[in-house]
Structure 1
Amino acid sequence: MILSEIIASFVDHRQAIGMRFRTEVRTLKSFCRFVGDRPLPEVTADRVLAFLAGRGPVTRFWERKHSVLAGVDGVFGLRPIFNGDAGRCCASS
């Protein structure tokens, strides 16, 4: 499955259980555009970290992006990034 399909499935599930999930949808779509709509194993830790970093200093928006991606940790397998081991995330960088 490619990233956009995974995100759509995750969002459909969240909305089906009653969550509005609108802000998160925008963040996930932005993430998909940033890293490219590719198979999940091709999403590298470097690209995830670059998405989180954005441009400029860390802001509340960085925290929001982190929170959204952490919320889909089971789908994307991002826990190594959040635990400081970016080398084991998603696919090897």
Structure 2
Amino acid sequence: MTDIVLKDIDGVLAERIKRVAEKRGWTVPKTLLHLLEQGLYAYEDGGALSFDASEEDALKAAISAMEQVEDDEGYALIGRVGREGGDP
């Protein structure tokens, strides 16, 4: 296997890679390989993210349940776009 060498890498990016490695319990080279593979999959698919059928169904059910929350002074207003004049 070819070695992965990153020259002149930004310090912030290097720290992010190290955090992923530590969190997963991987070595930095193994982490770089996984990140590169996943990044390639995302770009090969045109950058579009997609859900499998069960994930899509779960998301639709969750959104539907949240849409059924009664209007009130707090919770039901979270994430709603305000009307003209600033009122939700």
| Higher normalized contact order (CA 8 Å, seq sep 6+, divided by chain length) | 1
Larger Rg: 2
Q: How high is the TM-score relative to the length of structure 2?
A: 0.31
**Structure having the larger proportion of residues in helix:** 1
